[in-house]
Amino acid sequence: MTCRGCEEVRLVRRPRPLGPRGATVLLLLAAGLGSTLALGLTPSGLLPGEGGLRVAGRFLLAALHPALDYPDGPHPDWIPFGLKVAQALWRTVAFAVAGMSLALLIGLPLGLLASQVWWREECLGGGILCAIGRPLLVTVRILIALMRSVHELLWAVLFLAAFGLNTFAAVVAIAIPYGGTLAKVFSEMLDEAPRDTVGALRDLGAAPLSAVLFGLLPRALPDLWAYTFYRFECSLRSSAVLGFFGYPTLGYHLELAFRDAHFREVWTYVYALIALVLLLEAWSAALRRRVVA
Amino acid sequence: MTASFSFHAATVRYDGRAALGPIDLSIAPGEQVAIIGPSGAGKTSLLRLMNGSLRPSSGEVRLGGRDLARLHRRELRSLRSRIGFVHQSHALVPILRAGQNVIGGILGQRGLCAAARALLWPRREDLEEAHALLERVGIGEKLFQRTDTLSGGQQQRVAIARALFQRPMALLADEPVASVDPARGRALLELMISLARERELTLVTSLHDIDLACSLFPRLVGLRQGRIAFDAPRSEIPPESLRELYDLQGLRGGEVG
């Protein structure tokens, strides 16, 4: 009996000219090549023209000495340059924090509802939601897909048209796609977390929600933390770029400076954003060491 | 109250294939029983039948005279909250402190909010009880230490303290010493037996180490291919039936594998 099994295994393992794996690799290569041809990409497209080269040179040169003040020095009617940058930074952070907080409020419960393990526990524990489990799971997953299939800048354009330049609308524009992405990744992390603790808590009589919140969530927590921080970093960039639509974040000043060809000022904002992201990175690394170690 | 268990022709089938039974077995209040047998013999299924986390495919399992399969889920949960269950993997929350894991034993007895408060902002009396229990299992000084910094044996002691925090009427253990070295395993089992004696708990544990079981437990139940091979006080078990229990030659002849 075992012998017949061995033969079958050998049959499956016999090398073939083009297995499914080889076919997939070939297909991927063909896709890459095909899209290059379809777009007519040639290396010459990267060669700038005469004027472009000069602008690029000026722009790169400006990186070496970013602006520390207005081009014409301090202006009596304007706030000091340093304060202006600080304000733009602060507003960028404020939009990002507000957007992420809302996104977490959306993402955590939806992530729980979209995870397999939650429904398993709910149904094993005889929870009341189990009866509508399947349809609700599908609905939640579709909702999450819809939320994150539209980019935050598109949501922002949409809200701009609907509500005008509205601060809350900008925050919601960040929160919707970020909430969806958090929910999707959270649900996958919860599904991959070890389940022994949740089983033990069910064995001592815990209700499904208690068992998941205290037995599963803490086991996934280091991963959830790390991912939330990464998304926060993304939201800082999104918040900065929202400025291109007129919100008072870094992007607003960046765009104005760029339009006026004040490249040194552009670099000031870019460096400020980089410093912000590095600061966040250091903070998240320190926190993660505490959670993991 | 101390729990008694009785099985009446209980069977367990997975996908139509018989995994356990029919089992007839009764365990009196306060007894200490070791279930022994090779892996795959059905030890875990037998234990899971006892706390109602597995329903028999046929027959019945009674706890203190009540048929577990007839209980409403809520009643079953409240019954389970009085049964300590020690798992092979300690099944603790690694990022919480040892004391918090012990207090986690009340998750089955209090609602979500009350349990969250007790875990995150423990009351003095809960902390004191957790400390006393950790002291009893020999690691009182670890009360505020993060659980994932403890050794495997210490974590299993935390799991035992958590089970005791439930004020249980029975202690079930599924291979509680499988991931601990032999000397520590023996000490853990001795601890569980003395705890069961002093608190008048019914103790049922599965073990694959026959020598440990024979030297520590007054009553042994041998499981083989889902059926009870023997059930006797340790002094009355003939050596050949112990040998048969793990006789691989005999197993291969059967319909296993």
How crowded is residue B255: how many other Cβ atoms within 10 Å of its Cβ?
A: 7
- Work out the pLDDT band at B147, boundaries 50, 70, 90: very high
Q: Is residue B253 over pLDDT 70?
A: no
Q: Which residues of chain A have pLDDT under 50?
A: 1-7
- Work out the pLDDT band at B65, boundaries 50, 70, 90: confident
* Number of cross-chain residue pairs from A and B with Cβ atoms under 8 Å apart: 78
Angle at which helix A263-292 crosses helix A217-242, to 10 degrees, equals 170
The chain A residue lying nearest B257, using CA atoms, is: A2
- Work out the pLDDT band at B255, boundaries 50, 70, 90: very low
Tokens at A87, concatenated: 């304000």
B95–A218 CB contact, under 8 Å:
yes
Smallest CA–CA distance, residue A236 to chain B, in Å, is 29
* Residue B71, SS3 per DSSP: coil
Task: Find chain A residues with C-beta within 8 A of B108's C-beta.
Answer: 201, 204-206
DSSP labels, B170-228: EEEEESTTTTS-HHHHHHHHHHHHHHHHHHT-EEEEEES-HHHHHHH-SEEEEEETTEE
Beta partners for residue A228, in sequence order: none
Cβ-contact B36, B222 below 8 angstroms? yes
- pLDDT for the residue A3: 47
Homologous superfamily (CATH) of B1-82+170-257 is: P-loop containing nucleotide triphosphate hydrolases (3.40.50.300)
Q: Is residue B15 over pLDDT 60?
A: yes
Smallest CA–CA distance, residue B101 to chain A, in Å, is 10
> Which residue from A126, A204, A291 is facing B80, i.e. has the nearest CB?
A204
pTM greater than 0.90: no
Task: Find chain A residues with C-beta within 8 A of B115's C-beta.
Answer: 206, 210, 214
List the domain boundaries for chain B: 1-82+170-257, 91-167
Task: Find chain A residues with C-beta within 8 A of B101's C-beta.
Answer: none
Cα A117 to Cα A19, A133, A192, B200: the distances in Å are 34, 12, 9, 37
Kindly tell me the burial class for residue A226, based on how many C-beta atoms sit within 10 Å of its own C-beta (0-12, 13-18, 19 or more). middle
Task: Find chain B residues with C-beta within 8 A of A211's C-beta.
Answer: 107
Smallest CA–CA distance, residue B235 to chain A, in Å, is 33
The residues, ordered by sequence, that sit 6+ positions from A52 with a Cβ below 8 Å of its Cβ are none
B59-86 in b/e form (b: 16+ CB < 10 A) is bbbbbeeeebeebeeeebbebbbbbbbb
Tokens at A167, concatenated: 């601060």
B112–A221 CB contact, under 8 Å:
no
- Work out the pLDDT band at B252, boundaries 50, 70, 90: very low
Stretch B163-180: mean pLDDT: 92
A197–B83 CB contact, under 8 Å:
no
ipTM above 0.90, yes or no: no
Task: Find chain B residues with C-beta within 8 A of A225's C-beta.
Answer: none
Cα A284 to Cα A14, A17, A218, B94: the distances in Å are 49, 49, 18, 20
A125–B73 CB contact, under 8 Å:
yes
> Which residue from B73, B78, B85 is facing A200, i.e. has the nearest CB?
B85
SS3 content of chain B, % helix, strand, coil (to 5): 45, 25, 30
Stretch B49-55: mean pLDDT: 90
B53–A202 CB contact, under 8 Å:
yes
Return the residue in B77, B113, B117 with the most chain A beta carbons within 10 A, the one to mutate for interface testing: B77
> Which residue from B85, B93, B112 is facing A209, i.e. has the nearest CB?
B112
Smallest CA–CA distance, residue A207 to chain B, in Å, is 7
- pLDDT for the residue A53: 83
- pLDDT for the residue A1: 42
Residue in B170, B138, B132 with CA at minimum distance from that of residue B154: B138
- Work out the pLDDT band at B256, boundaries 50, 70, 90: very low
What are the strands, taking DSSP E only, across chain B?
5-14, 17-27, 32-36, 58-63, 66-67, 83-86, 170-174, 202-207, 219-224, 227-233
For each of the domains in chain A, give its residue range(s) and CATH number, in order of start. Answer: 81-292 (1.10.3720.10)
B87–A196 CB contact, under 8 Å:
yes
- pLDDT for the residue A2: 45
The chain B residue lying nearest A204, using CA atoms, is: B81
SS (H, E, C) chain A: CHHHHHHHHHHHHCCCCCCHHHHHHHHHHHHHHHHHHHHCCCHHHHCCCHHHHHHHHHHHHHCCCCCCCCCCCCCCCCCCHHHHHHHHHHHHHHHHHHHHHHHHHHHHHHHHHCCHHHHHHHHHCCCHHHHHHHHHHHHHHHHHHHHHHCCHHHHHHHHHHHHCCCHHHHHHHHHHHHHHHHHHHHHHHHHHCCCHHHHHHHHCCCCHHHHHHHHHHHHHHHHHHHHHHHHHHHHHHHHHHHHHHCCCCHHHHHHHHHHCCCHHHHHHHHHHHHHHHHHHHHHHHHHHHHHHC
Q: Is residue B257 over pLDDT 50?
A: no
